Chains A and B, each alone.
Chain A
């Protein structure tokens, strides 16, 4: 959860050359050592294989131990991500829903979620536009967990996005280690697998939540809608960092609220930033019926969230929050550029 920086000038020329090569070399001519081929192998492994692993999650000098269980059966993905030593939090995705158990907050969040993409994630296909902003390269092979591994770097070309370094198992293409890096290559977050099994079958019991939910508050995030109110739908980012564009716009209720929030998704093809626009709530969620309920103060400023940041501000009486797995300046840039387009003229990006 961190960071940003200036790209180095000496990167620019080689990056431009490599980027140009990547975009012009036909897919069929890629060799077995092509780093993009390995990224695609990783995508396939993460999406189609069964796996059960325990990994260390390191961020900012902090270490958490987590377990991931991923099963694909008859084309349907069931998945569980569990903190083993910290909060006791747990995510389970099954039957078209993602359920987030937060025992430390006595809360269970539930959201409709299609069975797409694994928790561990996969990288999108790298087309020409993505290559304009990231440089993909193969680093010298090494060993990890006692196994030969390919090392692939996805380097951002500017300070508006993070990059990755991936240690992929030579045999299975599973990422045994991943690092999230800023534009200078400084590591922000990393994951080491200490154990990774890829069994043919995973029993249901390994995918069942272990958190006791008695007494916990269940909050169901509303399904996404294509339409926000006219007022909310008129909000857009007026300017974006290079390469980002609007990819999804919709609306949904958040955290048990009754009113819809506008949800805009901006992406450069690898990183994504969500912008939420909503009415400033009169009272804190769940406190509406209380006679002495106090108005909830607006969110303002920067907060670290996961491997990225959120930046909140107020625009013409509405709460605007940009959140994404990007450097602080990217969410801040986008949030500050949000404005209302009252004349029906929306920006093209």
Chain B
């Protein structure tokens, strides 16, 4: 990835990329899988650096990368131009450390994904515990999810699960439905066929245009 594209990716994630350049970046990302991977890594790094998420993404993503690397202070939001100009002034160090952060972040995500053995607090669970017939035996006040065997992967869904997800999406609410459907569009981690003929590319026009 060239330095120019790195700057574009970084500026886009900072919310600072001009619309005309956003259009070019979109075109590049659409046809360059390697660039998409890099884009994803940078986004992940930004979120990892942001920690608990109380800050807004568009504030100095790249500046925080620099801060994490060598203690350089983050640029103030009003210094976007200057921040961008010096964004990748140490590309080698940046990439090396950034890759390390990305690895940590990815591992952290995966560990969260497969962390078993949750114990649920008894009080809230009890509110939802079944009471058959109203006077029957009450369910246990606490519940422990059994620990899964280590060989159960948190893998992408096999094809059979697609039917469940598709049916479920009907009842997903709001943005959850968006997520379910958008992810169904994503290819599985398997070799992919050649691009489908006839898939139209969008007309790329910058910014938001609102009909009068």
Contacts and interface: CB of A to CB of B under 8 A. Distances in A.
B164 A242 contact: no
A337 B36 contact: no
Interface in B153-212: 153-168, 170-188, 190, 192-193, 195-202, 204-212
A195 interface: yes
B113 A328 contact: yes
Contact of B155 (A60, A196, A303, A333): A303
A187 B156 CA distance: 18
B93 interface: no
A198 B209 contact: yes
Contacts of B198: 210-212
B114 A302 contact: yes
Contact of B196 (A103, A142, A272): A103
Contacts of B7: none
Given A81-B181, A185-B52, A307-B183, A122 B171 contact: no
Nearest to A90: B185
B128 A242 contact: yes
Contacts of A60: 40, 44, 106, 109
B136 interface: yes
Interface string B82-121: 0000000000000000000010011001001111101010
Given A242-B124, A267-B173, A323-B161, A57 B36 contact: no
B199 A211 contact: yes
Contacts of A90: 185
Interface residues of B, number: 113
Contact of B163 (A147, A255, A272, A345): A255
A192 B12 contact: yes
A197 B188 contact: no
A300 B151 CA distance: 11
A98 to B, nearest CB: 8
A41 interface: no
Contacts of A165: 53
A173 to B, nearest CB: 11
A194 B134 CA distance: 55
Interface in B123-168: 124-125, 127-134, 136, 139, 143, 145-146, 148-149, 152-168
Interface string A109-135: 101010001011111100000000000
Contact of A274 (B59, B102, B130, B171): B171
Contacts of B187: 83, 86-87, 89, 104
A85 to B, nearest CB: 5
A242 B127 CA distance: 7
B26 A195 contact: yes
A7 to B, nearest CB: 11
B188 A306 contact: no
Contacts of B205: 195, 197
Interface string A328-349: 1100110011000101011111
A38 interface: no
A261 B181 CA distance: 21
B33 interface: yes
A61 B30 contact: no
Given A61-B106, A84-B199, A210-B199, A105 B159 contact: yes
Interface in A181-225: 181-182, 184-192, 194-201, 210-212, 219, 221, 224
A139 B56 contact: yes
A176 B208 contact: yes
Nearest to A93: B181
A67 B112 CA distance: 30
A235 interface: no
Given A119-B177, A147-B207, A238-B139, A194 B22 contact: yes
Interface string A27-70: 00000000000000001000000101010111111111111000
A346 B106 CA distance: 42
A321 interface: yes
Given A144-B58, A197-B205, A270 B176 contact: yes
B98 to A, nearest CB: 12
Nearest to A325: B176
B152 A301 contact: yes
B39 interface: yes
A42 to B, nearest CB: 9
B178 A305 contact: no
A240 B26 contact: no
Interface of A: 1-5, 8, 43, 50, 52, 54, 56-67, 81-91, 98, 100, 102-105, 109, 111, 113, 117, 119-124, 139-140, 142-147, 151, 158-159, 164-165, 169, 171-172, 174, 176-182, 184-192, 194-201, 210-212, 219, 221, 224, 236, 238-242, 244-245, 247-248, 252, 254-255, 263, 265, 267, 269-272, 274, 276, 296, 299-310, 321, 323-325, 328-329, 332-333, 336-337, 341, 343, 345-349
Given A54-B202, A61-B102, A91-B185, 6 more contacts: A3-B109, A58-B39, A89-B186, A103-B193, A176-B208, A307-B182
Nearest first, the 6 A-B pairs at minimum CB distance are A185-B53, A306-B183, A87-B187, A307-B179, A200-B211, A347-B130
